[in-house]
Structure 1
């Protein structure tokens, strides 16, 4: 009988437990696969593979989907300036669907009967994995040991200890998920509403004092160079920004939001590159797009982020929104100057051949060049007509602020 199971493996506590449980309790052949979205170095990936094999997997593979993830998702999140609740750049929630699709592809290649993941029953990831698996491979059965057994992290640790698994369990006090678009950090503090994560829970440490300028150069909405150093691969440019930002410990925050399952959730994250790139891109758009382009981009960007967060990437409307977002970037080219400080950054300004402030029509608050006072008088008279009519018919009480 086919007893192959492909486990979405990260090397953390939950997936380590899954290997032992599926192998020893269920008698399955466990094939572990890590779908790397750019968060791991070659050394780290080697350690993860070593850990998987020491746990007794039949085989282990690394599926590098960083380029695919950037091309089909990250760039649209930049185009849309996507920040969930004006805070979170969807560091983990955006990558899960791509990881799930990669796992499905691998499971089909080896003819696996089952797919497994280590998500709990209290978070969003279970929905993201399950939904994608069900849509892409309805014939493959899904196994979820952590969710089904409702285990605490301490119970998982004790289970592994009894089976001779020796690790530095103190490092597993926090659930950490790394990707090119940021790192999420969950722990006992994020289960509360009033406690902050300790400094050592975050992956980066403050290495620089003082400040320095950084120039991000965009072409049609895509980051193409950092401090004048061009790259044909936008992923390399993102890594450069992350390295510079991480040295100042930039990008730390805690996101509070509504989960797919209906409860409030709280998670820490560190995402220097996403926050700086999105904010820089947005500033460049303010200078190069019309007010209605900016308005509709904000609406559709919010919808894109919300649907992506709630595992709706495969909904066809997402392709429609992507088409709009990409089309809107035709003139979003130029340099953005930022200043980096410990734990924060500021936007200084932009230089662009498409800068609408350079139109010569006027200098805001100073000089009007293409109109005179009579034009303004006529314009405001016509603009006020409909409100004159409404208030003459209905009246307006200045004291109460309502129509009579």
Structure 2
């Protein structure tokens, strides 16, 4: 088996797991390992990953700032759909995986690697997301998933392996970690260990991007977000790049206790899992986007989008970003956003975000038609025939039942 792999590109964080994987790949496959570390806005310094890889003897090291591409080409298209998995989850982890996979495949092509590897476990969704993306982009690529192959199936065994091979072990990784964390510019998640009992409330120590709602300011914070063709482009009148805009909304949402979610979700592999998510900027953004759609989208278009959204969200959660059906749905969604332009005013207060104003040069809202005062554009008598035609089948059904 080892002779089949000559060069592998590893998705490398610099942490204990992927550092052990790096050494294990060399031992098991006798191959050259190239590391790839992506900065997706996880909020921690990633350059130490370079030093760690160099210390472990890696000669080809890729460290890339992908924050703008992440928000522009993955987060924003998803938010045009108002995507929520199982009605509440904003897909922060799910949407990051296709970009990491895409760059891994591109790097593999550039350096002549014949395989890629990831550190996702055999119990989770990420293994599926990574590998479906790999195969969609390169059907002939070889994929190595160490957690499905090796016998290092406990934290104790990982640490023992690291000590035997002089791999530095972060101080906080000795012993059982309280929970596992995944982070990027859209969200931060925590799961496992101390959070595995769904009856037990998560402690305040779990949260890092939001203040507790009860500790948030007693005065509301108002914010205005400008949209162009469905994408946010400015906050309080200041035009910002995609990553900078999401960063600003994270700051505003987090300071006001917005974006916390305690969820028991259905994993693609079949089990239920409990996760704690913080998505402050995304929670503000989805409320704002629905606010601007409310005055710019036709009823039929809006309702069709809402019917398709669960399917679209499921495709992302399951790992089918690069599938033809997701791309078909994206084309429909993007078509719907052509006139979704304008400004939304929101009120942020102690964990809640409310739309309190919206305006657009493309607005379909007609005061002349909805006013309770006298008007000359709507004949209320027309409603009688409208109602009778819609009631016809109900009347016939009732008579038949007799």
What TM-score comes out, normalization by structure 1 length?
A: 0.88
Residues 163, 182 of structure 1: alpha-carbon distance in 2 compared, 3 angstrom cutoff: same
Shift of 1:118: 0.6
State the Cα deviation string for residues 137-176 of structure 1 (Å, max 9, x = none): 3443222222323613343234324444231225954322
Q: Determine if contact 2:7/2:31 at 8 Å carries over to the other structure.
A: yes
Residues 380, 356 of structure 1: alpha-carbon distance in 2 compared, 3 angstrom cutoff: same
Distance in 2 (CA, whole Å) between partners of 1:144 and 1:381 is: 63
Shift of 1:123: 0.5
Over the residues paired in the alignment, what is the CA RMSD in angstroms? Answer: 2.4
2:273 to 256, 259, 265: 265
Distance in 1 (CA, whole Å) between partners of 2:236 and 2:387 is: 46
Decide which moves more: 161-170 or 71-80.
161-170
1:242 to 228, 238, 250: 250
Residue in structure 1 matched with residue 204 of structure 2 by the alignment: 199
State the Cα deviation string for residues 326-370 of structure 1 (Å, max 9, x = none): 11112212221222234333332312233333341123xx34633
Q: Does 1:135 align with 2:143?
A: no
Counterparts of 1:347-362 in structure 2, within 5 Å, are 347-362=355-370
SS in 2 for 1:31: strand
- Structure 2 spans left out of the alignment, 5+ residues: none
Shift of 1:384: 1.9
Q: Does 1:322 align with 2:348?
A: no
SS in 2 for 1:305: helix
Q: How many residues align?
A: 390
Q: Determine if contact 1:361/1:368 at 8 Å carries over to the other structure.
A: no
Counterparts of 1:180-219 in structure 2, within 5 Å, are 180-206=185-211, 209-210=217-218, 211-219=220-228
Residue in structure 2 matched with residue 305 of structure 1 by the alignment: 313
Shift of 1:93: 0.8
Q: Does 1:68 align with 2:77?
A: no
Residues 174, 131 of structure 1: alpha-carbon distance in 2 compared, 3 angstrom cutoff: same
Q: Does 1:340 align with 2:364?
A: no
Q: Determine if contact 2:105/2:134 at 8 Å carries over to the other structure.
A: yes
What TM-score comes out, normalization by structure 2 length?
A: 0.88
Residue in structure 1 matched with residue 31 of structure 2 by the alignment: 28
Q: Does 1:225 align with 2:226?
A: no
Decide which moves more: 303-312 or 200-209.
200-209
Residue in structure 1 matched with residue 293 of structure 2 by the alignment: 285
- Structure 1 spans left out of the alignment, 5+ residues: 396-404
1:391 to 374, 386, 398: 398
State the Cα deviation string for residues 198-230 of structure 1 (Å, max 9, x = none): 322233252852331111111121101001111
Residues 129, 17 of structure 1: alpha-carbon distance in 2 compared, 3 angstrom cutoff: same
Residues 358, 373 of structure 1: alpha-carbon distance in 2 compared, 3 angstrom cutoff: closer
Shift of 1:262: 1.8
Residues 157, 251 of structure 1: alpha-carbon distance in 2 compared, 3 angstrom cutoff: farther
SS in 2 for 1:393: helix
Q: Determine if contact 1:119/1:126 at 8 Å carries over to the other structure.
A: yes
Q: Determine if contact 1:182/1:271 at 8 Å carries over to the other structure.
A: yes
Q: Determine if contact 1:8/1:117 at 8 Å carries over to the other structure.
A: yes
Q: Determine if contact 2:133/2:321 at 8 Å carries over to the other structure.
A: no
Residues 203, 26 of structure 1: alpha-carbon distance in 2 compared, 3 angstrom cutoff: farther
Residue in structure 2 matched with residue 116 of structure 1 by the alignment: 117
Q: Does 1:19 align with 2:22?
A: yes
Q: Does 1:160 align with 2:162?
A: yes
Residue in structure 1 matched with residue 59 of structure 2 by the alignment: 58
